């Protein structure tokens, strides 16, 4: 970390010194890393720093290191920093406090509160997540969508999520499913044409939620693809990240009911909550199919390409024919 970045962190935290405690993870494609820093001389024992450094040669799992891919990643970090600096939430959909953010050439820095210190030190994977924790995430999404319902995504992605059609022409071209490929534009138009728009997280997989010890409270992180759109896209993507096909078939209806109960509780009184639920419920299969379309072109052997996804896609294609 260069001296300018160190000085920024020390000033932002009113600290006298810092040291690297641990690397938390490497950013996707080799675009930097997330580290925890220990601080001295202030009332904040540590911070988490997202240090973006554009690589000379990006590492893409699918081998698609294109200029378009690079530009999308660069923009995603700019969007995330803008979100942290300019959008605020409350405890019902808590996000980490951003203490400082800066950009110098091909490096960016976001200094965030350490959620472990704040009491959100639990992480979950598909094999360990409990029903209460899934519902905590759905409640977070419901309150986030309600908070930003009707809000223009200024400074964010006009259309949130990393897989939407306009940003993924390479993956569309690579698809073998001719029928879904032909319908991709109609599915995209259906989702983007919804009446009730909000700001979506854009990448709310299970790994991007930090849990309290009890599992009943969560904080979401990683806002690189936050932007406008239909809130149900977040819900479909999240549920697909924490359940395999058999669980989806069994549990999705009840979990959707829970999400919409939380959403109707959270929206303002002047919102037609029943019309909102009706529209977004009808969009659920389209949202799921849209992500399925992306996976087919991005990684055809992905585990999420399963019977449940294929069944929803079949239903969507049937509706489009009608």
CA-only gyration radius of the chain, Å:
20
The domains of the chain are located at 3-113, 131-321
Q: Which pLDDT tens digit goes with each residue over 185-230?
A: 999 999 999 999 999 999 999 999 999 999 999 999 999 999 999 9
Q: Is 226 helix (H, G, I), strand (E, B) or coil?
A: coil
Q: What is the DSSP letter of 57?
A: S
User: Do 310 and 225 contact (CB within 8 A), yes or no?
Assistant: no
What is the per-residue pLDDT across 35-58, written as a single tens digit (0 to 9) for each? Answer: 999 999 999 999 999 999 988 765
Which two three-digit tokens encode residue 202?
A: 């854009």
Task: Write out pLDDT tens, residues 65-87.
Answer: 678 889 999 999 999 999 999 99
Q: Which residues pair with 23 in a beta bridge?
A: 35
Query: Pairing between strand 107-113 and 46-53?
Result: antiparallel
Confidence of residue 64 (pLDDT cuts 50, 70, 90): low
Percent pLDDT > 90 in the chain is: 90
Beta strands in the chain (DSSP E): 17-26, 32-40, 46-53, 98-104, 107-113, 198-200, 209-211, 218-220, 227-229
Say yes or no to pLDDT of 61 above 60.
Answer: no
Tell me what pLDDT residue 63 has: 47
Average pLDDT, stretch 114-122? 97
pLDDT at 29: 87
At 229 the pLDDT is 98
- pLDDT, mean of residues 295-300: 96
How much is the pLDDT for 57? 63
Residue 105's pLDDT is 79
In three-state secondary structure terms, 151 is coil
Say whether domain 3-113 belongs to CATH 3.30.200.20.
yes
What secondary structure does DSSP assign to 76-123, as a single string?
Answer: HHHHHHHHHHH----GGG--PPEEEEEEETTEEEEEEE-TTTTT--B-
DSSP bridge partners of 243: none
Q: Residue 7 has which token pair?
A: 């000085």
Structure tokens at 288: 């799921």
Whether CATH 3.40.120.10 fits 131-321:
no
* Calpha distance 174→302 (Å, rounded): 15
DSSP bridge partners of 113:
47
Q: Is the pLDDT of residue 301 over 80?
A: yes
């Amino acid at each position: 970390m260069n001296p300018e970045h160190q000085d920024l962190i020390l000033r932002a935290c009113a600290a006298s010194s810092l040291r690297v405690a641990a690397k938390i993870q490497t950013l996707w494609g080799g675009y930097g890393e997330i580290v925890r820093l220990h601080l001295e001389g202030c009332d904040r024992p540590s911070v988490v720093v997202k240090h973006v450094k554009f690589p000379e040669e990006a590492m893409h799992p699918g081998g698609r290191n294109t200029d378009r891919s690079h530009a999308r990643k660069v923009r995603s970090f700019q969007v995330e920093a803008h979100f942290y600096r300019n959008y605020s939430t409350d405890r019902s959909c808590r996000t980490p406090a951003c203490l400082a953010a800066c950009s110098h050439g091909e490096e960016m820095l976001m200094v965030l509160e350490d959620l472990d210190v704040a009491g959100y030190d639990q992480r979950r994977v598909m094999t360990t997540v409990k029903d209460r924790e899934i519902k905590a995430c759905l409640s977070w999404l419901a309150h986030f969508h309600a908070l930003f319902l009707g809000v223009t995504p200024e400074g964010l992605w006009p259309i949130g999520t990393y897989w939407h059609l306009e940003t993924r022409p390479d993956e569309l071209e690579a698809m073998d499913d001719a029928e879904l490929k032909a319908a991709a534009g109609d599915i995209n138009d259906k989702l983007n044409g919804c009446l009730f728009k909000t700001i979506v997280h854009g990448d709310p997989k299970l790994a991007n939620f930090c849990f309290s010890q009890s599992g009943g409270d969560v904080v979401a992180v990683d806002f690189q693809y936050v932007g406008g759109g239909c809130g149900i896209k977040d819900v479909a993507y999240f549920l697909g990240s924490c359940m395999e096909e058999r669980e989806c078939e069994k549990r999705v209806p009840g979990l959707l009911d829970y999400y919409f109960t939380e959403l109707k509780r959270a929206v303002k009184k002047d919102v037609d909550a029943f019309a909102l639920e009706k529209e977004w419920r009808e969009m659920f299969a389209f949202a799921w199919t849209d992500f399925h379309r992306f996976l087919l072109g991005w990684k055809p052997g992905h585990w999420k390409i399963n019977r449940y996804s294929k069944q929803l896609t079949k239903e969507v294609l049937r509706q489009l024919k009608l």
